[in-house]
Amino acid sequence: MTNTTNLLYSKEHEWVLQLDGNRVRIGITDYAQKQLGDIVFVENPQVDDKVTAGESMGTIESVKAVSEIFAPISGTIVQINEELDDAPETINESPLSKGWLVEVEMSSPEELKALLNEDSYQALINEGGE
């Protein structure tokens, strides 16, 4: 289990973990996976794709709905979690560690300042989450 105090969050329920240098790992929050229900398919961007903060970078399909994944940060995809191709339910089982989606080389690290910390994110979801 990832220590959530190191995570930043988007209002669209993605989390961001800073790795080395300008690299971050992105996934969806525990709250998001619970809202989605059983996840059956993930469409991630490809390595070398460019993503822009606030714009769609893929989709997650659950038994309830198809939801867009929004990039919380701008940059270039440097790695995708290929385990999700065969086991998308990993997101339900371990959304904050094994169920990560992609790693991004940030083009604008200052965008991290626009993300929420743990307390702010908890306040958001306690208000109804939308």
- Each residue's pLDDT tens digit, 97-124: 999 999 999 999 999 999 999 999 999 9
Residue 126 located in a structural domain: no
Q: In the prediction, which pLDDT does 114 show?
A: 96
- CATH code of the domain in which 75 resides: 2.40.50.100
What are the tokens at 46? 């490809």
Going by C-alpha positions, the residue among 71, 55, 73, 78 that lies closest to residue 112 is 73
pTM of the model: 0.94
Does residue 124 sit within a domain?
A: no
Q: How many domains does one find in the chain?
A: 1
Query: Does 44 map to a domain?
Result: yes
The reported pLDDT for the residue numbered 5 is: 77
Looking at residue 1, what is its pLDDT? 45
Is residue 129 one of the residues assigned to a domain?
no
Do the domain assignments include residue 125? no
What is the sign of the dihedral through the CA atoms of 94, 99, 10 and 109?
Answer: positive
Residues spanned by the domain of 85: 4-119
